[in-house]
């Protein structure tokens, strides 16, 4: 069943993305060089980026559902469906190779584009193409599952 | 070995990460949605393609908010500029962005998430599977970037 989106839900979603994107820019994660410097141990600042972001969400994900039961807008908390198997591990492996090759990941690619790095359009086109290839491949593997 | 592990300090990293975390937390607390970004790149194909994979319910149900969320990310980057901040120019060769992009898109979707999905939401959910995924892509990321640096590519 399709969820009907309340106007408030849309506003909250937009605001969330905005804050996330602004934070990605502030932390310089939208510069591929910053990410690559982390992966080559030249600047470990990304640890503080990830640590702060995970720390806050640890509180949000662990405490808020227990304290309130439902979201502020009255909807249910959605689980993050994920099953660790061989293909997923292969996916993580490939993702890491791409990440180490160009220093881009999906969120920073979007935020970095907004901050004026037009080169990231190439990466975004690549990510869309990669997701398309995955979908075509997965659709062929298991055409019946939807 | 570098002289310092943090040649640019840590203040902007910690503050930026905090703002990022607040964004992802806001999404979860208001709408209950785990704010992974990479699914956007699959669910958006459902606007164009009719294949069964792209028409799966989870994409049709989420493609609208994922588009709004992605728009917010782009606008967040724009707001950074409007706030008078500047971004140092980037010099990554086009072939790396293109090839890297395809690997990122394919890998993130096959792996069920990226740095935001597994790295932030998954770890905040204390999902052991997401921890394994983060270690995996962190590992190949470090090996790839270090190897290319060593080769001077």
Question: Per-residue pLDDT tens for B37-79?
Answer: 999 999 999 999 998 999 999 999 999 999 999 999 999 999 9
User: Distance between CA atoms of A124 and B28, rounded to whole angstroms?
Assistant: 25
Give the residue-averaged pLDDT of A74-99. 96
Name chain A contacts of B36, Cβ cutoff 8 Å: 80
Give the residue-averaged pLDDT of A6-16. 96
Please give the DSSP secondary-structure letter assigned to residue A34.
H
Q: Grade residue A3 by pLDDT with cuts at 50, 70 and 90.
A: low
Q: Is the pLDDT of residue A4 over 80?
A: no
User: Distance between CA atoms of A8 and B123, rounded to whole angstroms?
Assistant: 27
Number of H helices, E strands in chain B: 6, 0
A19 in B contact zone (CB under 8 Å): yes
Q: Is the pLDDT of residue A76 over 90?
A: yes
Q: What is the pLDDT of residues B92-129, one digit of tens each?
A: 999 999 999 999 999 999 999 999 999 999 999 999 99
Q: Is the pLDDT of residue A1 over 50?
A: no
Provide the pLDDT for residue A146: 43
Provide the pLDDT for residue A121: 97
Lowest mean pLDDT among A20-24, A90-94, A103-107, A137-141: A137-141
Q: Do B73 and A24 contact (CB within 8 A), yes or no?
A: yes
CB burial readout A21-36, b (16+ within 10 A) else e: bbbbbbbbbbbbbbbb
Q: What is the pLDDT of residues B2-16, one digit of tens each?
A: 579 999 999 999 999
A6 in B contact zone (CB under 8 Å): no
Q: Is the pLDDT of residue A25 over 80?
A: yes
Provide the pLDDT for residue A141: 81
Helical (H) or strand (E) element with B69 = helix B57-82
pTM of the model: 0.95
Question: Which of A 49-68 lie inside 8 A of B, CB atoms?
Answer: 49-62, 64
Q: Please report the ipTM that was assigned to this predicted complex.
A: 0.96
Provide the pLDDT for residue A129: 98
Distance from CA of A90 to the nearest CA of B (A): 7
Provide the pLDDT for residue B1: 52
Q: What is the pLDDT of residues A97-141, one digit of tens each?
A: 999 999 999 999 999 999 999 999 999 999 999 999 999 999 888
Question: Which of A 97-136 lie inside 8 A of B, CB atoms?
Answer: 97-107, 109-117, 119-120, 122-136
Give the residue-averaged pLDDT of A72-91. 95
């Amino acid at each position: 069943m399709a969820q009907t989106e309340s106007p408030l839900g849309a506003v909250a979603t937009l605001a969330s993305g905005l804050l996330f994107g602004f934070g990605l820019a502030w932390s310089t994660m939208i510069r591929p060089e910053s990410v690559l410097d982390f992966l080559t141990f030249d600047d470990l600042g990304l640890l503080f980026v990830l640590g702060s972001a995970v720390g806050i969400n640890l509180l949000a994900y662990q405490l808020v559902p227990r304290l309130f039961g439902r979201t502020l807008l009255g909807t249910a908390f959605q689980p993050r469906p994920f099953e660790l198997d061989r293909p997923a591990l292969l996916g993580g492996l490939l993702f890491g190779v791409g990440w180490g090759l160009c220093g881009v990941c999906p969120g920073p690619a979007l935020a970095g584009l907004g901050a004026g790095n037009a080169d990231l359009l190439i990466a975004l086109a690549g990510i869309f193409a990669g997701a398309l290839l995955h979908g075509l491949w997965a659709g062929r593997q298991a055409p019946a599952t939807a | 070995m570098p002289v310092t592990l943090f040649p640019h300090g840590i203040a902007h990293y910690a503050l930026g990460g905090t703002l990022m975390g607040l964004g992802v937390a806001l999404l979860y607390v208001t709408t209950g949605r785990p704010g992974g970004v990479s699914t956007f790149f699959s669910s958006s194909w459902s606007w164009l393609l009719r294949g069964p994979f792209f028409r799966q319910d989870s994409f049709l149900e989420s493609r609208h908010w994922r588009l709004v969320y992605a728009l917010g990310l782009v606008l967040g980057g724009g707001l950074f500029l409007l706030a008078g901040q500047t971004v140092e120019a980037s010099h990554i060769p086009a072939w790396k962005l293109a090839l890297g992009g395809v690997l990122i898109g394919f890998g993130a979707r096959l792996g069920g998430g990226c740095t935001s999905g597994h790295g932030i939401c998954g770890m905040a959910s204390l999902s052991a599977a997401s921890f394994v995924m983060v270690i995996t892509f962190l590992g190949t990321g470090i090996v790839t970037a270090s190897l290319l640096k060593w080769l001077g590519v």
